[in-house]
Amino acid sequence: MRSLSTLGFLIGSLAVSGGYCTADIETRSLDQIHEAAKAEGGVVNLWAGGDEKDQQNGLKEAFETRFPGMTLNVTVDLSKYHDGRIDEQLAANNLYVDATFLQSLHDFPRWKSENALLNYQPLEFKNIFDQFKDSEGAYYGVFIFSWSNIWNTGKVDAASAPKEYTDYLKPVFKDKLALTYPNDDDAVAFQFDLIIKQYGWQWFDDLIAQNPRWVRGTATPATLISSSNGSYAATFTSGIGLTSSGSLNVSFPTQGQFVSWPQTGAIFADAPHPEGAKLLTNFVLSDEYQKASGWSVRRDLPGPSGYPTIFDMPGTNVTAFRDFMLDRAAVERLRFRFEDKIGTAQGLSPLVDDL
């Protein structure tokens, strides 16, 4: 009996630890998956991390245009709220989310250990950078997010444009910075952590003396500085892409480090619409979507125009944020230190707050 029990434990351990692969490996074309998804009901429910309700409208439009008869229901909210609500659904055996794309990278290994994720290898799985994916396909990067220096060219002249994080301490930016609370967003906390490790906590104290407007949500600073009426002119806690947009211009530091990471996706094992979720995942990882989304999570695609691949981009370590997120005790200590200096994050969730 003891030998049989031990054998059963070892077999179970191999299955959980990846001793053998139990992944569903995709071999169908997008059109074939499309037909299966339509037969299933033609619906996909995606929960995506973000802080503006319309943040994934472009994906919804592109997906529904490419695949007639499909409906992509997207709910955007902060990743740190989505994960808790997903946990509630899983605990109640009442899952109605099919797939999720989140910033909270530490959640995915946990969900895999709880057998909550579908081991699924989409068509381009082999081309996803190994550092961005689970070996069995339980989760993988779907696109790259990053922060950058952003300023309004109508409010900041070329000579004063921020290039390094010390530039934000210049008198020209007094009362003109819009910054996301670092104690409200882990990716922003990591950005501040990198800067403080380079310049020390005195830099943060000097930044506070600039009287920035602290806001919730990483889209909020860019919205504020883009306004032609307001006084806010610059930020380094938003991402608007790799090129200028309207009155906003972007740059990346050469002496400092900027945060980048693979926004990570997964399909749930008990997804109500698994074929629809597979179609969405394969579309997001396809050439047509990856080439239009800035830096790619795939190693077989070149960097966007004017840039190398994300792994060759100076000034960032695209895997460092994952390690930061996994050390939750360190993240919490840092969060409370920021809170001690600037107070708790004020305002409603950015998805319902009025600017």
Q: What is the pLDDT of residues 338-355, one digit of tens each?
A: 999 999 999 877 765 444
- For residue 97, being part of any structural domain is answered with yes
User: What is the token pair recorded at 210?
Assistant: 């600039």
Under a CB-based contact definition with an 8 Å cutoff, are residues 161 and 249 in contact?
yes
- For residue 16, being part of any structural domain is answered with no
Q: What is the pLDDT of residues 307-339, one digit of tens each?
A: 999 999 999 999 999 999 999 999 999 999 999
Are residues 115 and 189 located together in one domain of the fold?
Answer: no
Q: Which helix (H) or strand (E) holds 223?
A: helix 219-226
- For residue 1, being part of any structural domain is answered with no
- Using the predicted structure, report yes or no on whether residue 288 has a pLDDT greater than 90: yes
Domain housing 272: 23-145+261-307
Task: Give 21's pLDDT tier (boundaries 50, 70, 90).
Answer: low
Q: What's CA 192's distance to the chain center, in Å?
A: 17
Are residues 32 and 75 located together in one domain of the fold?
Answer: yes
Who has greater pLDDT, 108 or 3? 108
Mean pLDDT of 100-129: 98
- Measured CA to CA, the distance from residue 160 to residue 171 in angstroms comes to 10
Partners of 44 in the beta sheet? 72
Are residues 199 and 335 located together in one domain of the fold?
Answer: yes
Q: What is the pLDDT of residues 172-222, one digit of tens each?
A: 999 999 999 999 999 999 999 999 999 999 999 999 999 999 999 999 999
Say which range, 67-71, 75-79, 261-265, 344-348, has the weakest mean pLDDT.
Answer: 344-348
Q: What's CA 73's distance to the chain center, in Å?
A: 19
Under a CB-based contact definition with an 8 Å cutoff, are residues 244 and 158 in contact?
no
Q: What is the pLDDT of residue 55?
A: 87
Are residues 213 and 254 located together in one domain of the fold?
Answer: yes
Phi, psi of 187 (to 5 degrees): -70, -30
